[in-house]
Amino acid sequence: MTLLQKRKLRKYLARTLRSERRIKLYLLNLHWVKIKKQKERRRKKTLIKLYKLSRLRMMRSMLKSA
């Protein structure tokens, strides 16, 4: 989320949701939720790559010993 998007979100919140604190906090928290999801996706990809590398290494060692 860029600075401009953050600024627009804050302006929108200030304009429309002055009294509804729960919704305001939810919308501010969306940014952090997006970051968290992105980190989870990245972590999953790296774990899959590491798993594939370890399996490949194990297969190669089995072929060398055979």
Closest CA to 14 of 35, 28, 2, 29: 28
Predicted pLDDT of residue 16: 67
pLDDT tens, residue by residue, 5-45: 888 888 877 776 666 777 777 777 888 888 888 999 999 99
How far is residue 55's CA from residue 33's CA, in Å, rounded to a whole number? 33
Number of domains comprising the chain: 1
In this prediction the pTM is 0.50
Token pair of 9, please? 């979100």
Domain of 46?
Answer: 3-65
Q: For residues 45 and 15, is the Cβ–Cβ distance under 8 A?
A: no
List the Cα angle 29/47/33 in 5-degree steps: 5
Instruction: Spell out the residues 6+ positions from residue 34 whose beta carbon is closer than 8 angstroms to its own.
Output: 1
